[in-house]
Copies of this chain bind each other. A is one copy, B any other.
């Protein structure tokens, strides 16, 4: 499996837990999203002064595999990588790990599509994104 080059720590909040005492299933997508946006920031593709509309990506598909319950107090990290860049879409993979034990608690993936909010249309992935992601991930073009 290709390795993740980007990890971001996530603090499990009490408010993320549900009546079963574990991380609620919807919050896994929140953790993926938190990591994904930090990845975009890390690659210099998002300027905090900009509107989030400037990111110009919409989600077409998301998948989560739950492996072991995430509990309060765990030292959690989310890993993010982009595995494929198409013309208008890109595939990302995610992992949620217990940083103390190395155990993978969940994994997942998403498909993002480049989108122009002004015209309301899908567009080719901007060249700036393409270049920085290919370089960071070492993708074959």
Contacts and interface: CB of A to CB of B under 8 A. Distances in A.
Number of copies: 4
A72 B21 CA distance: 16
Interface string A14-56: 1101111100111111100110010001000000100111000
A135 interface: no
Interface stretch (A59-67, A83-91, A96-104, A124-132): A59-67
Nearest to A26: B29
A58 interface: yes
A65 B19 CA distance: 23
A69 B63 CA distance: 18
A18 B20 contact: no
A61 B52 contact: no
A30 to B, nearest CB: 4
Contacts of A52: 14, 17-21, 72
B20 A26 contact: no
Contacts of A11: 10-11, 34
Interface of A: 10-11, 13-15, 17-21, 24-30, 33-34, 37, 41, 48, 51-53, 58-66, 69, 71-73, 117
5 contacts: A13-B33, A14-B52, A17-B18, A28-B62, A61-B63
